[in-house]
Amino acid sequence: MELGSSSLSFNTYLFSGFTPRPNESSTLFLLPLSFKPSSLSLARSQNPFRFKAIATQKTVKNMSRDLEYSTLTALSPLDGQYWGKVKDLAPYMSEYALIYYRILVEVQWLIKLSQIPGVEDVPSFSNDARSFLQGIIDGFTVDDALEIKKTERMTNHDVKAKCQSHPEIAKEALDNTILPVIDDLIEAIGQMAKDNAHISMLSRTHGQPASPTTLEKEMAIFAVRLSREKRDISQVEIMGKFAGAVGNYNAHLVAYHAIHWPQIDEEFVTSLGLSFNAYIITRLHGKIVSCNLPTEQYILIDYDRDIWGYISWGYFKQITMPHKVNPIDIENSEGNLGVANGTMSHLSTKFPISRFQRDLTDSTTMRNMGVGLGHSLLAYKSTLQRITKLQVNGAHLSENLDNCWEVLAEPIQTIMFCKMVSLWNLDGVLRIFDRWSGIIYWVSENLQQDVGCLEDHFAKHYVNKIRYGVLEPYEKLKELTRGRSVNKESIREFIEGLELPNQAKTELLKLTPHSYIGVAVDLALTTKKAVKLVNEKGHIFFFFTSRCSGLHAPFLLLIED
């Protein structure tokens, strides 16, 4: 039943239903607002499960008129409720865009033919003629596209040049809409990391309290991860061909056998900004939206879920609503990323497949690239919108840390039984630094080749210098922390009772859940540099001074793909 020119007044009716018996289908009931429950009971008792509808108006008739298209009647929410947020994709992914790029390819191909001396049917164009043809592209309007659609309704066939236009559409849609928004998102996350780099936070592994970090270092991780995937997306080749139905230039050679068509094809395809591939049949340019982009989006889903969790724990305040934070934008983002990846998952399995030499099931599939990209764009903007509204709740983060002094069991245990040395490679020379004695050991070249051999060497020859030998450190800390409340006083009492040098105890007593954050601050502050290096070189390579307690030696960090 369609809505439209009904003689029934729908605003005077309620919807109701009954619980069916086993093997009975559920029934939808239309009831007037003035209907009395006693009358309904009587009618139902006479025919309880075949009762279809009760109405005091005339029978519903003339319901076949189609609804006019509008944002209210659009089937897809992208074209309805969310149109304002995704309309930037319309110049690339709409039906109008498909026709426009088809015309662009056809006109450019005509101009290319006019420049080939051997093609007698297409004379060389004058400057005015080329300007006229370029004007067709530059002045193409929606009305022009509607005229083409009228012609296609009569021929019941659209010109296949549109298949050749899809690679260029995908490239421009990504370059002009998707990638810039991803850049904005990475920039916002990176700035968030820098602005709050010094705010300590209790981290969690397996959902349980773990070694402290900083909230914004955790944000920095996502900025770098997203940057790496964005770089890979931007570097994917989008390929094209213009070699006829099966890629052999059959008709080309029959018409003009003296022309080297593969060379002409390559020149034309590359002039459109695409990579040429003479051996392509299926639409492999779809890889960029069906394979590479989902990885980026799974990372963003991970980010959305973490932010949602941090909001639920009270780690953020909302600038416009200090008493609560409603994470609806984050939920909107996660939901739309799921829809986007679901669409792209199908594209990734469809695009590599073509029955024999040609199969146009991918033609209808390619029209849905805009669906996947539209939900992606909506998700990016939703996350970006939420980031700008969040404010770190430093007091709550601090309170969490004050209640979790047990996280210092890790550094205490490390000091109790580990080798108290630092190893680092600087200027090609491996050095060993004993943190408490201050002695630096220079390592011979033969030992530099094998770190395991190096450790064995020091264990045998310098055991008294590099190990405190506190017995059963794990058991001692287990007795202190397992099933007991641990606070500042109990931790300090435990440290004071350890058989450690006074300098070691002093360093441990300086530690708090707020300060035991390793190099998290450095990582957060260098986020933008890391993102830049990822985009330029594909790896991160930077140098800073460690803030770790007792270690003042230079620390070198290298992360490679």
Question: 442: part of which helix (H) or strand (E)?
Answer: strand 440-442
State the pLDDT at residue 179. Answer: 94
How much is the pLDDT for 65? 55
- Give me the pLDDT at residue 28, please: 43
Q: Which residues of 352-376 are buried (b: 16+ CB within 10 A; e: fewer)?
A: eeeeeeeeeebeebbebbbbbbbbb
**Predicted confidence (pLDDT) per residue in 53-70, tens digit:** 444 344 444 444 567 888
Give the pLDDT confidence score for residue 394 in this predicted structure: 92
283 vs 167: CA distance, rounded Å: 8
Q: What is the pLDDT of residue 550?
A: 35
Work out the average pLDDT over 368-382: 94
State the helix-helix crossing angle for 179-195 and 369-387, rounded to 10 degrees: 20
Element (H, E) at 429: strand 429-434
**Which of 48-62, 211-225, 364-378 has the lowest average pLDDT?**
48-62
Looking at the predicted structure, is the pLDDT value of residue 45 above 70?
no
pLDDT at 545: 38
Residue 177 has what pLDDT? 95
Please determine, for residue 273, whether its predicted confidence score (pLDDT) is greater than 70: yes
Mean pLDDT of 222-240: 89
The confidence score (pLDDT) of residue 63 equals: 43
Average pLDDT, integer, range 378-398: 92
Confidence (pLDDT) at 466:
40
Q: How far is CA 126 from CA 114, 135, 139, 419, 471, in A?
A: 10, 14, 20, 82, 92
Output the average pLDDT for the chain: 76
Least confident of 151-155, 276-280, 336-340, 432-436: 432-436
Q: Residue 55: its pLDDT value, please? A: 43
For 425-443, how does the pLDDT look when each residue is reduced to its tens digit (9 = 90+)?
445 555 555 544 445 454 4
Kindly report, residue by residue over 481-539, the tens digit of the pLDDT: 877 788 999 999 999 988 888 888 898 999 999 999 998 998 888 888 888 888 876 55
pLDDT at 284 > cutoff 60? no
pLDDT tens for residues 122-146?
A: 999 999 999 999 999 999 999 999 9
User: What confidence category does residue 281 fall into, taking pLDDT thresholds of 50, 70 and 90?
Assistant: low
The secondary structure of 61-76, three-state, reads CCCCCCCCCCCCCCCC
pLDDT at 9 over 50: no
Domain-by-domain residue ranges, the chain? 70-163, 165-241+280-404, 405-517
**Whether residue 235 has pLDDT greater than 90:** no
Topology adopted by domain 70-163: Fumarase C; Chain B, domain 1 (1.10.275)
Can you tell me the mean pLDDT for 160-176?
A: 71
- Spelled out in words, what is the top-level CATH class assigned to the domain 165-241+280-404? mainly alpha
What is the 8-class DSSP label of residue 87?
G
Supply the pLDDT for residue 380. 97
3-state secondary structure of 391: strand
Q: Bigger pLDDT: 453 or 88?
A: 88
pLDDT above 90 as % of the chain? 39
**Residue 479: both structure tokens together:** 């007795």
Q: How would DSSP label each residue in 123-164?
A: PPPPHHHHHHHHHHHHT--HHHHHHHHHHHHHHT---THHHH
Q: Report the pLDDT value the prediction gives residue 56, as an integer from 0 to 100.
A: 39
**373 has a pLDDT exceeding 80:** yes
Sequence-ordered list of residues with C-beta below 8 angstroms from that of 45, at least 6 positions apart, any chain = none
CATH topology of domain 405-517: Ribonucleotide Reductase Protein R1; domain 1 (1.10.40)
Q: What is the mean pLDDT of residues 195-213?
A: 92
The DSSP letter of residue 317 is E
At residue 546 the predicted structure's pLDDT band, cuts being 50, 70 and 90, is very low
Look at residue 418 and tell me whether its pLDDT is greater than 60: no
Among positive and negative, which fits the CA dihedral 39, 43, 48, 53? negative
Instruction: Give the least confident one: 74-88, 466-480, 520-534.
Output: 466-480
Q: Where does the pLDDT of residue 560 fall: very low under 50, low under 70, confident under 90, or very high at 90 and above?
A: very low
Q: In Å, what is the CA distance from 242 to each residue of 221, 269, 281, 432, 469?
A: 43, 7, 10, 63, 74
What would the mean pLDDT of 4-32 be, rounded to a whole number? Answer: 41
